[in-house]
Amino acid sequence: MAYYRRNSSADRMARGLGWFSIGLGVAELVAARRLARWMGMEEQAGLIRTYGAREVATGVGLLAMGDARPWMWGRIAGDALDLATLASAHHDGNPRRENVATALGAVAARTALDVLCTAMLHREEATAWTPPRDYSDRSGLPRPPAAMRGAAKDAPILADMRTPAILRFQPA
Amino acid sequence: MKALVWHGTADIRYDTVPDPEIEQPRDAIVKVTSCAICGSDLHLYDHFMPGMEKGDIMGHEFMGEVVDVGAEAKSALKVGDRIVVPFTIWCGECEQCRRGNYSVCERSNRNKAMADKLFGHTTAGLFGYTHLTGGYPGGQAEYVRVPFADRTHVKIPDGLTDEQVLFLGDIFPTGWQAAAQCDIQPTDTVAIWGCGPVGQMTIRSAILLGAKQVIAIDRVPERLSMAKAGGAITINFEEESVVERLNELTGGKGPEKCIDAVGMEAHATATLDSMYDRAKQALALESDRAHVLREMMYVCRPAGTLSIPGVYGGLIDKVPFGVSMNKGLTWRMGQTHVNRWTDDLLRRIQEGQIDPSFVITHTVGLADGPGMYQTFRDKRDGCIKVVLKP
Ligand SMILES: NC(=O)c1ccc[n+]([C@@H]2O[C@H](COP(=O)([O-])OP(=O)(O)OC[C@H]3O[C@@H](n4cnc5c(N)ncnc54)[C@H](O)[C@@H]3O)[C@@H](O)[C@H]2O)c1
Ligand SMILES: [Zn+2]
Ligand SMILES: [Zn+2]
């Protein structure tokens, strides 16, 4: 089983990327049409909105879940989708071609960050893993638990901690 | 003197601080010989509990030797006495103390006004546990001032090691009260969430108090192995469905008694509700994660009891209260009334019925405390319970 280390530098970076995802996703959701127009991709406003929702989901996942790695892989897959979509709009027929190039550059930089962060998270796990300890000899009891069952039935427990008789389960 | 001092989230340092002195006639000063890190300390370390200030001394599980006694504590203590100090400070005279409800003593919280405002009415003062409960310097230090010391102590007879008795100050009575307040019957199945130190003590207590079947839930393999050693059937919540397994083990009816020994930092499982909690907590929209509470309410047998030693600090969200109401569940919870149980439990340790030192996995000097906080929180190196030697 894998444990993540909270507050390690890789983990902090992953959470930072999570916030970034939420911000970007919200922007894509709210300004999908404007973004599409800016890149000469008017028909694709709906797609951008879908990508925005995807960003928000991975962002929340990164902030929310214990282990950041599956979400980071999700981001990398998302980066690939973004790159492919942008590449398809980067052709001579698009008058806003330069804006698309800018966007491509930004997504490429972000992909590099994502890959770096994921690699760091994996490296951390590789160094952290040791086989679990076996504490099966640590009972704390002088005899096997089955033989100790009820040994303290005489314990003084005041009435305020007792279940009122009417609410008690009857012995089966 | 040296002490472990809180500086912020995940920032505890081994600092030099002024020595404590007698401030009130009922005080005593204790030279600490052993202290421990508690799961409750992790809530401060991760800063989920409000009310900490930079410079606060940590620690509420400690014991040692009395080195100074105030005038009014002399009737009960003398220099040289060896005592365990309970984490709940109690006066022994107020209405709550007279009823044995020491963790809600009406007089020991010196920041009563603040607690009155937040909780409606104050609870007891606690060592090293936020300004809401008095802001008393804690026991992960070389020396501690113990207020109301004539009451707030357990005298230790000769012949017992620190390791055997240290946990009388918190986790042993906490596990015991968690089980005791379930009023365990010989026909009961008791399900315990969390196999940390508190869960481990709860398992042994439930066995000793005569539960038919004890089931323990966690995901950390070595903690599960220790739970099994104590007589529990174990469920790894990352590998199996807790609700399905509990129903299977109880003929489809659910456990009569459910105990939350996890508290507000319940781990994310793949379930929707814990994702929701993580997200809301990350965005500071809720303070505590209630996954274990929800699971207990759902799986508990109707007319059963939920016992909650796990600590919560503030607000929880999406609690299926209708489930609990319609099933007629009884809720029992609270900080432990430590001294209510300690005479009986000390006797059981002396008689060899239980040796709580089984839970200790790491013993280090106080200076290594900051690193141990991280090891304990991240459950690295098989860590279950850390004892520090100042
Ligand atoms: N009421 C009191 O007086 C009192 C006294 C001491 C400690 N406590 C509280 O008891 C709780 C446990 O303390 P501890 O020292 O054992 O701490 P701990 O952090 O070592 O143990 C908590 C355990 O719960 C497990 N866990 C997390 N999520 C879970 C889930 N969804 N289902 C099952 N198990 C889960 C963790 O893996 C861990 O082993 C803490 O909240 C602590 O503050 C209360
Ligand atoms: Zn504690
Ligand atoms: Zn009192």
How much is the pLDDT for A64?
75
pLDDT per position in chain B (390 positions), as tens?
999 999 999 999 999 999 999 999 999 999 999 999 999 999 999 888 889 999 999 999 999 999 999 999 999 999 999 999 999 999 999 999 999 999 999 999 999 999 999 999 999 999 999 999 999 999 999 999 999 999 999 999 999 999 999 999 999 999 999 999 999 999 999 999 999 999 999 999 999 999 999 999 999 999 999 999 999 999 999 888 899 999 999 999 999 999 999 998 887 565 666 666 666 666 555 556 788 999 999 999 999 999 999 999 878 888 889 999 999 999 999 999 999 999 999 999 999 999 999 999 999 999 999 999 999 998 999 999 999 999
Beta-bridged to residue B388, according to DSSP, are B35, B364
Cβ count within 10 A of residue A137: 9
User: From the CA of B23, how many Å to the nearest CA of chain A?
Assistant: 35
- Phi and psi (nearest 5°) for B164? -70, -35
- Residues of chain A in contact with residue B278, where contact means CB-CB under 8 angstroms, are 63-66
Give how far Cα B41 sits from Cα of A124, A142, B57, B138, B192, Å.
25, 30, 11, 11, 21
CA A122-A126-A132 angle, to 5 degrees, is: 125
Q: Which ligand 1 atom is nearest residue B335's CA?
A: 3
- Phi and psi (nearest 5°) for B255? -70, 145
Q: Which ligand 1 atom is nearest residue B193's CA?
A: 33
Q: How far is the CA of B311 from the centre of ligand 2 (A)?
A: 9
Does A83 reside within a domain? yes
Q: Which ligand 1 atom is nearest residue B171's CA?
A: 6
Give how far Cα B350 sits from Cα of B31, B159, B262, B360, Å.
24, 9, 29, 18
- Phi and psi (nearest 5°) for B170? -160, -80
Does A142 reside within a domain? no
Cβ count within 10 A of residue B16: 8
Q: Whose CA is nearest to atom 21 of ligand 1?
A: B196
More confident residue, B175 or A36: B175
Does A148 reside within a domain? no
Is residue A101 within 8 Å of residue A94, measured between CB atoms?
Answer: no
How much is the pLDDT for A1?
30
Task: Tell me the pairing of strands B305-308 and B257-260.
Answer: parallel
How much is the pLDDT for B127?
98
Give the number of domains in chain A.
Answer: 1
Q: Residues whose CB is under 5 A from ligand 3 (ion)?
A: B 90-91, 94, 97, 105, 107
- Residues of chain A in contact with residue B186, where contact means CB-CB under 8 angstroms, are 150, 171
Does A160 reside within a domain? no
Q: How far is the CA of B53 from the centre of ligand 3 (A)?
A: 26
CA distance B108 to B106: 6
Q: How far is the CA of B173 from the centre of ligand 2 (A)?
A: 10
Structural domain boundaries, residue A56: 9-128
How much is the pLDDT for B108?
97
| CA torsion through residues B154, B143, B122, B294, sign | negative
Task: Tell me the pairing of strands B11-16 and B2-8.
Answer: antiparallel
- DSSP string of B27-87, one letter each residue: -EEEEEEEEEE-HHHHHHHTT-SS---TTPBP-SEEEEEEEEE-GGGTTT--TT-EEEE-S
Is residue B153 within 8 Å of residue B146, measured between CB atoms?
Answer: yes
Q: How far is the CA of A66 from the centre of ligand 1 (A)?
A: 17
Tokens read off for B195: 């196999």
Is residue B43 within 8 Å of residue B263, measured between CB atoms?
Answer: yes
Supply the pTM of this predicted model: 0.83
CA distance B3 to B19: 10
Instruction: Show the domains of chain B with their CATH numbers.
Output: 2-170+336-389 (3.90.180.10), 172-333 (3.40.50.720)
Q: How many residues does chain A have?
A: 172
Q: How many residues does chain B have?
A: 390
Letter string b/e over residues B262-300, b meaning 16 or more CB atoms within 10 A of that residue's CB: bbbbbbbbeeebbbbbbbbbbeeebbbbbbbbbbbbbbb
ipTM score: 0.87
Q: Which amino acid is at A83?
A: L
Residues A117-157 pLDDT 10s: 888 888 877 766 677 889 999 999 999 999 999 999 999 98
User: From the CA of A123, how many Å to the nearest CA of chain B?
Assistant: 16
Lining ligand 1 with CB less than 6 A are: B 38-40, 42-43, 170-171, 174, 193-199, 217-220, 223, 237, 261-263, 266-267, 291-292, 309-311, 335-336
The answer to whether B185 contacts A171, with C-beta atoms less than 8 Å apart, is yes
Terminal-to-terminal C-alpha distance of chain A? 40
Tokens read off for B330: 């009884």
- pLDDT score of A172 more than 50: no
Tokens read off for A139: 């009972």
Coil, strand or helix: which one is B259? strand
- With CA atoms as reference, the chain A residue closest to B303 would be A167
Does A138 reside within a domain? no
Q: Which of A157, A158, A160, A170 to mutate to test the interface with B (most CBs of B within 10 A)?
A: A157
Does A68 reside within a domain? yes
Long-range contact pairs involving B96-100 (C-beta distance under 8 Å, separation at least 24): B97/B151, B99/A160, B100/A158, B100/A160, B100/B337, B100/B340
- Residues of chain A in contact with residue B180, where contact means CB-CB under 8 angstroms, are 155, 157, 161
- pLDDT score of A4 more than 60: no
Does A167 reside within a domain? no
The answer to whether B231 contacts A149, with C-beta atoms less than 8 Å apart, is yes
Q: Which amino acid is at B148?
A: F
Does A163 reside within a domain? no
Q: Does A165 touch chain B (CB under 8 A)?
A: no
Which distant-in-sequence residues (6+ apart) come within 8 Å of B174 by Cβ?
Answer: B198, B201, B202, B309, B336, B338
Confidence of residue A3 (pLDDT cuts 50, 70, 90): very low
